[in-house]
């Protein structure tokens, strides 16, 4: 006989609950794979739709395959990805030319013409700044992830160390030691945030990579880097 003080026996989930759990687990596995394939397929199709119309009709991939294999013109072959290859080769060629003396001279001349055009000047400068920020990662990137006490003592926030403060900012801060530029992102959108300047002694550098710290911010603290050896090493030091 059970009394009110006896522990409750856990109930076995029913058939519907088990099916629901299996469905959600399968969805977690399938969704990232399916969305990734769909996104890549869509981007490749978009680039092909933009590049291939610029290729002469005789050199279209489906025409070349029909000629090579001796197929009837009514046989349509969808070759996806050729436009991406053409775009990559064209981009590499433009980048190679732009690095040379003639290419740099042409770019400076073209930019001087753009600077004289009121509306185009604003659009071009904005797009150029965005492109340099997004694609010039080898020259501009965060150095390390860190922990700082913000917005007050006892509350910790994840930040990214960008550079050591220089010039007027460092001189007017009145700090005797090094002053670090820290970007504190917002959640779940890490592209916005706050630029803060902290003394180097108040910044705790993290061993996790910048990518892992960004995942932690985007996931609102749900996705932590799985590094058991790192955790054990830090615990041993403490």
What does the pLDDT look like over 130-186, one tens digit per residue? 676 656 555 556 879 999 999 999 999 999 998 888 888 888 887 778 899 999 999
Q: Tell me, what's the pLDDT at 236?
A: 55
Distance CA 155, CA 21 (A): 37
Distance CA 157, CA 149 (A): 6
| Residue 129: φ, ψ to 5° | -65, -40
Q: How many residues does the chain have?
A: 238
- The most distant pair of C-alpha atoms in the chain lies apart, rounded to whole Å, by 94
Q: Tell me, what's the pLDDT at 10?
A: 58
Residue ranges of the chain whose pLDDT lies below 70: 1-11, 13, 73-78, 130, 132-141, 226-238
The 10 Å CB-count burial string (b at 16+, else e) for 150-180 is beeeeeebbbbbbeebeeeeeeeeeeeeebb
Cβ within 8 Å of residue 210, ≥6 positions away: 141, 142, 144, 145, 160
Domain boundaries, the chain: 144-237
């Amino acid at each position: 006989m059970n009394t009110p003080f006896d522990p409750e026996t856990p109930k076995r989930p029913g058939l519907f609950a088990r099916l629901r759990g299996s469905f959600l687990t399968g969805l977690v596995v399938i969704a990232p794979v399916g969305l990734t394939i769909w996104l890549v397929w869509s981007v490749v199709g978009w680039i092909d739709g933009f590049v291939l119309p610029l290729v002469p009709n005789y050199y279209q991939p489906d025409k070349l395959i029909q000629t090579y294999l001796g197929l009837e013109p009514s046989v349509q072959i969808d070759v996806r990805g050729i436009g991406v290859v053409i775009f990559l080769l064209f981009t590499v060629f433009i980048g190679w030319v732009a690095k040379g003396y003639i290419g740099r001279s042409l770019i400076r001349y073209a930019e001087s013409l753009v600077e004289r055009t009121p509306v185009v000047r604003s659009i071009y400068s904005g797009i150029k700044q965005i492109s340099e920020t997004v694609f010039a990662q080898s020259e501009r990137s965060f150095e390390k992830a860190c922990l700082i006490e913000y917005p007050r003592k006892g509350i910790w926030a994840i930040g990214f160390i960008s550079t050591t403060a220089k010039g007027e900012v460092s001189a007017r801060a009145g700090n005797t030691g090094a002053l670090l530029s820290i970007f504190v992102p917002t959640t779940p959108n890490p592209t916005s945030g706050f630029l803060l300047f902290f003394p180097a002694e108040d910044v705790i550098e993290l061993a996790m990579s910048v990518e892992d710290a960004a995942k932690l911010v985007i996931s609102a603290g749900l996705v932590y880097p799985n590094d058991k050896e790192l955790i054990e090493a830090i615990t041993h030091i403490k």
